[in-house]
Amino acid sequence: MTAILEARGLRKSFDRTEALRGVDVSIRRGEIVAIMGPSGSGKSTLLHCLAGVTVPDAGTVAFNGTPISTLDETARGKLRLTDFGFVFQFGQLLPELTALDNVAVPLLLAGERRGTAATRASEWLGRLGLDGKAQRRPQELSGGEAQRVAIARALVTKPAVLFADEPTGSLDSLAAEAVMRIMIDLVREAGTTVVVVTHDPRTAAYADRDIIVRDGHVSVALGEAA
Amino acid sequence: MDSALTLLGLVSLRPSYGYDLKQLYDRLFGLRKPLAFGQVYATIARMIRDGLLAPLGEEAGDGPDRKRYAVTPDGERRLAEWMFTPDVPSETLQNNIFAKTVVALLTGRDAHSLLDIQRACHMEQMRSLTRLKQGAGLMHVLLYDHALFHIEADLRWIDMTAARLTQLRDEVLA
Amino acid sequence: MAFLIRLALLGGRSSFGRPLGIVFGVALGMALFLLMLGAVIALDHRDDRGAWTEAVFGYTAIPADEVAPEGALLVHRGETHAAGAEITRLVVAAPPGAMLALPGIAGIPAPGSYYASPALQRLIAALPPDEFGDRFGTFAGTIGNEALSSPDALLAVIGGSPETVRALPRAAYVAMVDIPSSSAGGAYQIVILIGAIGLFFPVGLLIAIVTKLGAVTRIERFATLRLIGASPRQIAFVVALEAFLTAACGAVLGVGLAAIFRPLAARIPLNGGSFFAADLAVGAGPTLLAIGAMVVAAAIASAIGIRRAGISPLGATRIIRERTPRWWRVLPLLTGGAMIWYGAAYGAELDGTLVIGFIVGGFALTALGIVVVGPWLTFHLSGLVARRAGSAAGLIAGSRIRATPGATFRSVSGLVIAVFMVTVFSTAAGGVIQSIRVNAVDGTLPLDALFTYVPSETDMAAVVRATMAVPGVDDVIVGRAVDARASGLRPGSVAWAAPDFATLGFSTAPDAQYATFSSVDYLTLRTRSVETVAVPESAVGAPVAIVVRTDGTASTIDRARTVIERAVGFAAEPVTRVEAIESGVRQAMHELALVAYLGAFVSIAIAGCSLAIATASAVIDRRRVLGLLRLMGMPVSHLHRIVGFEAAVPLIGVLGLSIAAGYLVAEIIVENLAPEIAVGWPEPMYFVALALGLVLALVSVGATIGTIGRNTAVGSTRFE
């Protein structure tokens, strides 16, 4: 199996705080990986580096063998738009847009026509069990429903990698479970690689393996044990 | 928890008299149930028989409380094996992990990786339970959930301990 | 309460910029308001001061052919022209026993000498004597400012002998000079008052928006106050107090600014002349009143602003779901229009103040109506954009505007109002200027010609000879008196020999040997021509008028004029057709338009500030979600486009409305104030002002767009 994402010697500091101090990570195609660790350990920073959101101070990130940390912001933005999908903890949906329009936004950004975008967006809402909620606005949805809309939006462009940052962080256990189950089913079906940052073991348990970040280091023993 | 291996670990800190061993053990682990002298000596005798411990020096012939004991190379191996083998998650597990951690700290071993290894084992267990859960009926889901929540509790304890290892070391070595 | 105030106001360093914005906006508005108020007051005041020169037309004047009253002066008021300017010429003679002294001069000038206003002295110095200065005689002294309405006043007081002055037409005895002023500045006063009121809109909007922005950035502080038990009313009070204090600083600063800029503002010509700087000074009473009004308006605007921000004890701005704008929002606009129309149409039957009330009130209501109807229009327009948009930026901006039409429109309302104002002014001005353009038309006096009546006892041959000698003069013809009784023609008609009609601007000569014009308007018609009417030879008398054709250059015309005036005396007032028609109207409208553009520029500047601040706040409000979109790979250029859309949609939508409303209002007002004038296309300057407004809007939005990059950059928010 080839690595779809490969990070070598990542270092990243914010002001005087070192968030990452030399991290190596390799993620295989189709793998679901959980990044865990105490808060402030640098797990979100690691996700941002892997996704080409932030550029590491040192080290490289390669996507499908191509280094992405050397690309400029425009090129990385394009990469994120076409090859990556993102789900966050909350507040990622545009409050003025309907669920359908929210899902359609990435397609429009990719140059899709309005009509086609709407059709595909509504397909994905259906897959996430949101039939009948297409015309609701985010504030008219429950937390779990809103997260499912966000997942639909992340997957509608058929990304190679889905990055999820605490996707269940603001949900109760039952809603969290429903969201994770449907997300895992869909990505397994599509063979999408998933990198999920979480501090919740029950969410991490949906992954194939986990990576522990502690004080800016990845626990070596585990990286190899897995 | 395995009190024999715990005692072995304490001896590995430095050759000790049985009496000192009991005192140290009680201070660290005897909060709820201190060891009886008889139990200490019986355990020592068993470990000498198994070649894990050996009496030290020429004071042979004195009573057991006049002897110092040291860990043999076999004993060291056994100790490492115990320490870095994760325990299968179970309800009575915690004391054992705690003992391992304390001993590791006392003897200058890598308590972090001990906890990491334990953690990985717990996570593996959770993953397999989660896989079983996918597609299971509600009855089974609830059963698996019960197990999952317990493992999660252990994991939380492991994480908390891992986060406070430095503090714990200071207290143990005091 | 003191504790609350301290907690609420003592922000960090970041809270400095916001009050500064208010101080700046209020100071600018206040300074402008005071200057405009000063102008309104000064227009009346200086008219009174300059009114004495019109004494010869007043009720204290007694025709010169009657018995001289005790101690009266003999005065003749006439006009002469030079270099396109009109000069008032008072010829005075002191008969024996004259007691009256004239204001501004030391004594009655001796025959052949003259007093001149400073502006006239400058004009005399600037032109060759044979073109201008020779008309007056010897310089006796300067007329003092206390007798002049404006530093630009062109006034000469010329001495003459009682006999010559008595012989001049329209000469009169004047025994006293307290003449009630004709309120010639009335139209100006209305316009300036409207402008001054209009000024409150952008300033108020600026304060409301800045307050809301301040509330958003201090949301946690206010939320904490709410949590520990402060009521929304108390919060509003604290914020209003803050605005009150900053606005007071701004207002006081504005008074200073007004004082500093007074000399500069005084140079703007209004109603025929600029001001003495002291004229624009506003007394302590009105100044305090204006400060009070401004500060109270600021406090109210900020209290409204903070209520809009909707602070709850739990911090986050409550998402205020704006109510869908309803159709009733068109009503104030229609009412305002109706009021103006009513005031204009039935003005003649109403009391003067009532008319002004209707027009000024209607104008204010129309301006308000545009602000009220804006969200409604914006809502419908954005709905269209959101449904039809093919791009993500269009969809996002359209939906956002549709959800918050009121807030979105507010960010451009200042510009929209400014455009409305400038459209009103410039349409009115442009219409007038167009309608008084003077063209050469068959059957009217040619543009290069001078015309004047002369006394019948004049030695015409000498005058003609002297005039013909002026280089550049092509032809001099003489018109003769017509015996009205013998011919049955209108009294005062002038007969011209048939061959001279080519010189008079007619392409076809009349059939008779002598002919006159069918109308007295020969000199002042702009586009229509007059017919010729035959005059019986028996009815033709002595020469009474003269027409001089020149090469059309100003110096030839002025030189010819000097020669005629010297040869004929002060009875001659040679004018070109352009001078006869204009009589200050064109100048007046140019002045009005100039004021309008200045006012519009300031409104646009303040409105631009508002738009920039509002755009920035629209970004800050949504920085998390915009940041996440950017993280997902939406290019920054798309974010720029969203913000651009959000400014452009309401701007373009309502700009159309303001232009239309402004045009209509201008037409109604002009038709009321000056019914003889037709409203035409606005001046070119109008389009410059419009373009300037749009550029300013673009620049302010563009400047804000820079903040989008910063505010949505990864790390400015926690993306979890």
Domain CATH code at residue A87: 3.40.50.300
Is the Cβ of A88 closer than 8 Å to some Cβ of chain B?
Answer: no
Residue A223 pLDDT greater than 50, yes or no: no
Chains touching B, CB cut-off 8 Å, 3+ pairs: A
Contact C309, C216 (CB under 8 A): yes
Angle C6-C9-C13 (CA atoms, 0-180°, nearest 5)? 120
Q: Which of C624, C634, C720 sits opposite A109 (nearest CB)?
A: C634
Q: How confident is the model at residue C720 (pLDDT cuts 50, 70, 90)?
A: very low
How far apart are the C-alpha atoms of A200 and A217, rounded to whole Å? 19
How far apart are the C-alpha atoms of A124 and C625, rounded to whole Å? 22
The pLDDT value recorded for residue A121 is: 93
How far apart are the C-alpha atoms of C515 and A12, rounded to whole Å? 102
- Say whether B126 and A205 touch across the interface (CB within 8 A): yes
Contact C213, C621 (CB under 8 A): no
Q: How many folded domains does chain C comprise?
A: 4
Distances from the Cα of A172 to the Cαs of B134, B148, B159, C380, in angstroms? 19, 16, 21, 40
C166 and C198 fall within a common domain:
no
How far apart are the C-alpha atoms of C421 and C689, rounded to whole Å? 11
Contact residues on chain B for A214, CB-CB shorter than 8 A: 162
Q: Which of A74, A89, A108 sits opposite C395 (nearest CB)?
A: A108
* A9-68 residues touching B, CB cutoff 8 A: 38
Of the residues B130, B154, B159, B166, the best mutation for testing chain A's interface (the one with the most A CB atoms within 10 Å of its CB) is B130
- Say whether A205 and B148 touch across the interface (CB within 8 A): yes
- Say whether A94 and C396 touch across the interface (CB within 8 A): yes
Contact residues on chain C for A15, CB-CB shorter than 8 A: none
Is the Cβ of B26 closer than 8 Å to some Cβ of chain A?
Answer: no
Can you say whether residue C552 is alpha, beta or left, with left for phi > 0 and alpha for psi between -120 and 50 degrees?
A: left
The pLDDT value recorded for residue C13 is: 44
Cβ atoms within 10 Å, residue C256 = 12
Higher pLDDT, B67 or C65: B67
Is the Cβ of A89 closer than 8 Å to some Cβ of chain C?
Answer: yes
How far apart are the C-alpha atoms of A99 and A104, rounded to whole Å? 9
Contact residues on chain C for A108, CB-CB shorter than 8 A: 390-392, 395
Chains touching C, CB cut-off 8 Å, 3+ pairs: A
Q: Which domain holds residue A214?
A: 3-225
Give me the percent of chain C exceeding a pLDDT of 90: 2
Average pLDDT over residues C492-515: 84
- Say whether A80 and C632 touch across the interface (CB within 8 A): yes
What one-letter code names the amino acid at C147?
Answer: A
Instruction: Select from C547, C575, C603 the last residue of a domain.
Output: C575
How far apart are the C-alpha atoms of A141 and A137, rounded to whole Å? 7
What one-letter code names the amino acid at A44?
Answer: S
pLDDT digit string, tens, across residues A155-166: 999 999 999 999
Residue C35 pLDDT greater than 90, yes or no: no
**Does C507 fall in a domain?**
yes
Instruction: Select from C575, C607, C624 the last residue of a domain.
Output: C575
What is the sign of the dihedral through the CA atoms of C419, C422, C427 and C430? Answer: negative
Burial class (CB in 10 A: 0-12, 13-18, 19+), B61: exposed
C703 and C596 fall within a common domain:
yes
Minimum Cα–Cα distance from B152: chain A residue: A201
- Say whether A219 and B116 touch across the interface (CB within 8 A): yes
- Say whether B130 and A202 touch across the interface (CB within 8 A): yes
Q: Do chains B and C touch (3 or more CB pairs under 8 A)?
A: no
Question: Which residue in this structure is represented by tokens 């705080």?
Answer: A17
Q: What are phi and psi of C73, to 5 degrees?
A: -100, 155
The pLDDT value recorded for residue C444 is: 78
C538 and C620 fall within a common domain:
no
Q: Give all strands of the β-sheet with C113-116 in edge-to-edge order.
A: C61-63, C172-174, C73-82, C85-93, C155-159, C113-116, C138-142
Average pLDDT over residues B16-23: 85
Helix, strand, or coil here: C97? coil
Contact C631, A80 (CB under 8 A): yes
Count Cα neighbours of C236 within 13 Å in the Cβ-side half-sphere.
17
Residue A196 pLDDT greater than 90, yes or no: yes
Percent helix, strand and coil across chain A, each rounded to 5?
A: 40, 25, 35
C314 and C342 fall within a common domain:
no
Residue A152 pLDDT greater than 90, yes or no: yes
- Closest Cα of chain C to A96: distance in Å? 5
Contact residues on chain C for A96, CB-CB shorter than 8 A: 396, 399-400, 402-404
Of the residues C632, C716, C717, the best mutation for testing chain A's interface (the one with the most A CB atoms within 10 Å of its CB) is C632
- Say whether B127 and A205 touch across the interface (CB within 8 A): yes
CB-based contacts of C387, cutoff 8 Å, min separation 6: C398
**Does C367 fall in a domain?**
yes
C272 and C383 fall within a common domain:
no
* A187-216 residues touching B, CB cutoff 8 A: 201-202, 204-208, 210, 212, 214
- Say whether A212 and B152 touch across the interface (CB within 8 A): no
When mean pLDDT is compared across A11-15, A203-207, B126-130, C424-428, the lowest value belongs to: C424-428
Rank A49-53, C148-152, C271-275 by mean pLDDT and report only the highest.
A49-53
What's the first-to-final CA gap in chain C, in angstroms?
38
Give me the percent of chain C exceeding a pLDDT of 70: 74
Q: What are phi and psi of A78, to 5 degrees?
A: -65, -40
C430 and C336 fall within a common domain:
yes
What does R_g of chain A's alpha carbons equal in angstroms? 17
Higher pLDDT, B151 or B61: B151
How far apart are the C-alpha atoms of B113 and B119, rounded to whole Å? 9
Calculate the average pLDDT of chain C. Answer: 77
Q: What are phi and psi of A20, to 5 degrees?
A: -125, 130
Q: Which of A74, A78, A108 sits opposite C391 (nearest CB)?
A: A108
The CB-based long-range contact list for A166-169 (8 Å cut-off, 24+ gap) reads A166/A88, A166/A89, A166/A197, A166/A198, A166/A199, A166/C720, A167/A87, A167/A88, A167/A89, A167/A196, A167/A198, A167/A203, A168/A198, A168/A200, A168/A203, A169/A89, A169/A90, A169/A198, A169/A200, A169/C720
Q: Which of A208, A214, A225 sits opposite B120 (nearest CB)?
A: A225
Which of C202, C205, C203, C214 lies closest to C241 in space, CA to CA? C214
Alpha helices in C622-683 (DSSP H): 623-631, 636-673
Higher pLDDT, C698 or A217: A217
C658 and C719 fall within a common domain:
yes
Angle A189-A194-A196 (CA atoms, 0-180°, nearest 5)? 135
The pLDDT value recorded for residue C411 is: 72
Q: Which of C630, C634, C719 sits opposite A88 (nearest CB)?
A: C719
How far apart are the C-alpha atoms of C72 and C57, rounded to whole Å? 15
Residue A189 pLDDT greater than 50, yes or no: yes
pLDDT digit string, tens, across residues C472-483: 888 888 888 888
- Say whether B126 and A181 touch across the interface (CB within 8 A): no
When mean pLDDT is compared across A88-97, A215-224, B116-125, B163-172, the lowest value belongs to: A215-224
The pLDDT value recorded for residue C305 is: 72
The pLDDT value recorded for residue C116 is: 92
Q: Do chains B and A touch (3 or more CB pairs under 8 A)?
A: yes
Average pLDDT over residues B3-7: 85
How far apart are the C-alpha atoms of C219 and C233, rounded to whole Å? 16
When mean pLDDT is compared across B155-159, C374-378, C599-603, the lowest value belongs to: C599-603
- Closest Cα of chain A to C696: distance in Å? 29
Q: Which of A38, A210, A221 sits opposite B123 (nearest CB)?
A: A210
Residue C718 pLDDT greater than 50, yes or no: no
Higher pLDDT, C358 or B78: B78
Which of C720, C117, C254, C655 lies closest to C423 in space, CA to CA? C655
- Say whether A212 and B119 touch across the interface (CB within 8 A): yes
Contact residues on chain B for A202, CB-CB shorter than 8 A: 126, 130, 148, 152
DSSP structural state of residue C109: P
The pLDDT value recorded for residue C678 is: 62
Contact residues on chain A for C391, CB-CB shorter than 8 A: 108
Contact C215, C87 (CB under 8 A): no
pLDDT digit string, tens, across residues C376-397: 988 888 888 888 888 888 888 8
Burial class (CB in 10 A: 0-12, 13-18, 19+), C44: middle
Contact residues on chain A for B155, CB-CB shorter than 8 A: 201
Residue C664 pLDDT greater than 60, yes or no: yes
Chains touching A, CB cut-off 8 Å, 3+ pairs: B, C
pLDDT digit string, tens, across residues C393-406: 888 888 888 888 88
Q: Which of B127, B130, B163 sits opposite A38 (nearest CB)?
A: B163
The pLDDT value recorded for residue A81 is: 87
Q: How confident is the model at residue A154 (pLDDT cuts 50, 70, 90)?
A: very high
The pLDDT value recorded for residue A226 is: 35
Can you say whether residue A15 is alpha, beta or left, with left for phi > 0 and alpha for psi between -120 and 50 degrees?
A: left
Question: Which residue in this structure is represented by tokens 């140019």?
Answer: C590
Contact C365, C339 (CB under 8 A): yes
Calculate the average pLDDT of chain B. Answer: 84
Minimum Cα–Cα distance from A157: chain C residue: C632
How far apart are the C-alpha atoms of C156 and C154, rounded to whole Å? 7
Burial class (CB in 10 A: 0-12, 13-18, 19+), C513: middle
**Does C443 fall in a domain?**
no
Q: Which domain holds residue C502?
A: 449-575
Higher pLDDT, C89 or C457: C89
Instruction: Select from C527, C554, C575 the last residue of a domain.
Output: C575
For chain A, helix (H) and strand (E) counts, in that order, are 8, 10
Helix, strand, or coil here: A14? strand
The pLDDT value recorded for residue C711 is: 61
Q: How confident is the model at residue C318 (pLDDT cuts 50, 70, 90)?
A: very low
pLDDT digit string, tens, across residues C214-224: 666 666 677 77
pLDDT digit string, tens, across residues C428-469: 766 665 555 666 777 778 888 888 888 888 888 888 888 888
Is the Cβ of B163 closer than 8 Å to some Cβ of chain A?
Answer: yes
The pLDDT value recorded for residue C237 is: 82
Contact residues on chain A for B120, CB-CB shorter than 8 A: 221-222, 225-226
Dihedral Cα C706, C710, C714, C717, nearest 10 deg: -130
Q: Which of C399, C628, C636 sits opposite A97 (nearest CB)?
A: C399
Exposure b/e, C465-503, CB count within 10 A at least 16 = b:
ebbeebeebeebbbbbbbbeeebebeeebbbbbbebbeb
How far apart are the C-alpha atoms of C116 and C425, rounded to whole Å? 35
How far apart are the C-alpha atoms of C39 and C45, rounded to whole Å? 10
The pLDDT value recorded for residue A163 is: 93
Is the Cβ of B90 closer than 8 Å to some Cβ of chain A?
Answer: no
